[in-house]
Chain A
Amino acid sequence: MSEPVLAVEALHVAYGPIKAVRGCTLRLDAGETVAVVGANGAGKTTLLRALSNLLPHESGSVRYLGAPTERAGPHELARRGLFHIPEGRGTLGRLEVRENLRIAYDVRPADRSFEAALERVFERFPRLRERHDQLAGTLSGGEQQMLALARALINPPRVLLVDEPSLGLAPALVEEAFAVLGEFHAEGIAILLVEQNVYSALRLAQRGYVLRQGEIVMEGPSAKLLADAEMLKHYLG
């Protein structure tokens, strides 16, 4: 078996006084889409924030592309291709749309010029072309989600961590966001998707983990998890 791109072993993370992640072990293979689902407060966001080293780990290990990540800052992981779209999309609202994209493009050396990369992004997200010189804070929620995804597309990462892309979006926009993630998958980007929207997430992913009170209580191929509706319902409360 080849080395996973992201390997998490018995990870414990405290969020303030709360032990939010308790001994999680999970893996993400190259090119795979994996969903981590769970109820509100199950520890999903804490898990992702710990994976990109925004939060310190109490114990356990995280390996990205075979190397331990414990000494790296979040920006170093981003530069190595571990890209995290945070909860709430991380829009830099007082910067222009184009500047948001420029920062994401600058994250690491790219194989095409900014203009060419921008053109490719605008082809996929024509709305962003129309609004390229607006402050990103003036975009609608759906457009901000597109911007968040576009920032990943402009300089494609190896691994994409996505926190709750459906949050606060109308169903049609959720569908669009998931469609874009599907395209990222087709391009070979490994995706770790954290979602409360269990069914959409598991339909997109090949495998899934169910997180409950900081522990992984179910795991397996998405189809198998979806088939066990009774159990899923029980854990998701």
Chain B
Amino acid sequence: MLAEQVINGLVLGSMYALIAIGYSLVFGVLDKLTFAHSEIFMFGGYVGVLTVALGVPIWWAIPLAIVVAGIQGLITELVSFRKFNTPDGHITAALSSFAAGIVLIDVTQKFWGSDPKDLGIPNTIYTASTELFGLQIVYIKLAILIVTLLIMIALQILIARTRMGRNIRAVAESSTTASLLGIDVKRVTQQTFFIASALAGIAGLMLAMRGGFADPNVGLSFGLKALAIMAIGGMGDVRGAMIGGILIGVLEGLAFQYGLGKLSEVLVWVLMIVVLLVRPNGLFGRSVNRELRA
């Protein structure tokens, strides 16, 4: 069904968008890419596994994912970014954060094995559905869409209306000027990493809840795709990441619907190459490649 594939695409796109926003926030503030991000996303699924192991209700996984992923983000900032603040630190930070991500995969596999790990939740959580306008809607997909929407609204308000958001935008534009105006750039950087990582953690958790299992390999496939989406949307542009994520998700859903099968996986990468050729700053990026809009 076409409509069902569109919904699947929206669900997929929600998760792409959440991860891509994180890449964008960090890139906006630091001008650097964090390659640990996709693995923090991956680990979000294992927060689900942990939650079940703790014996607390599965919904506790959401605040837990925020805290665990946020802390992983803070650690990434500390070990892979803090020291490399010179102009030639970009590559060092990229390599270091990439290594941090690989370490996270290895640790995860050490504890839970290299195969997907069943969450051990009742399968009604990810299969229960209802019929709406003649469509079979799975509750968990609806929940993912609602949670994503709420997060995006909250993020818009945070960035556009709060002191923290104002400071983040100020540092994104010029960390030098921001510091001369009394803004603690280090603290803003930490806040940015926390928020970006928390979003990825929630996305990882939602992906696991949708399928009923956590997978140690989703970072390198699914998570890295969000990096391409950020580049398509516009480097450092939060709105571009949101729209780009949803767009790619829906396109993939449609490609699947029209029988492209596995080929739909390659769509995003081809699209990234084409978009970058035509618009090097992405669809929403302006001529300046550092853009962080509210």
Binding site for B on A (CB under 8 A): 52, 54, 73-75, 78-79, 83-86, 90-95, 99, 102-104, 106-108, 151
Contact among A73, A85, A92, A95 for B179, CB-based, below 8 A: A73
Known: A73-B186, A99-B169. 9 other contacts (CB 8 A): A73-B185, A75-B180, A78-B180, A92-B170, A92-B174, A94-B292, A95-B166, A103-B166, A106-B182
List the B side residues contacting A79 at CB < 8 Å.
Answer: 182
The answer to whether B180 touches A90 (Cβ under 8 A) is: yes
The answer to whether A151 touches B181 (Cβ under 8 A) is: yes
Contact among B177, B182, B185, B291 for A92, CB-based, below 8 A: B177
How many interface residues does chain B have, given as a range? Answer: 20 to 34
Q: Kindly list the 7 A-B residue pairs having the minimum CB-CB distance in the complex, ordered from nearest.
A: A107-B182, A78-B182, A90-B177, A74-B179, A75-B179, A84-B180, A79-B182
Q: Return B174 CB to nearest CB of chain A, in Å.
A: 7
The answer to whether B183 touches A52 (Cβ under 8 A) is: no
The answer to whether B176 touches A86 (Cβ under 8 A) is: yes
Q: Could you give, for residues 176-195 of chain B, a 1 whenever the CB lies within 8 Å of some chain A CB and a 0 otherwise?
A: 11111111111000000000
Q: How far is the CA of A104 from the CA of B183 in the complex (A)?
A: 9
Contact among A90, A91, A99 for B166, CB-based, below 8 A: A99
The answer to whether A75 touches B293 (Cβ under 8 A) is: no
Q: Does B262 contact A (CB under 8 A)?
A: no
The answer to whether B169 touches A95 (Cβ under 8 A) is: yes
The answer to whether B180 touches A74 (Cβ under 8 A) is: yes
Given known A-B contacts A94-B169, A99-B166, A102-B166, A54 and B176 have beta carbons under 8 A apart: yes
Q: How far is the CA of A76 from the CA of B183 in the complex (A)?
A: 8
By beta carbon, the residue of chain A nearest B286 is A94
Q: Does B167 contact A (CB under 8 A)?
A: yes
List the A side residues contacting B163 at CB < 8 Å.
Answer: 106
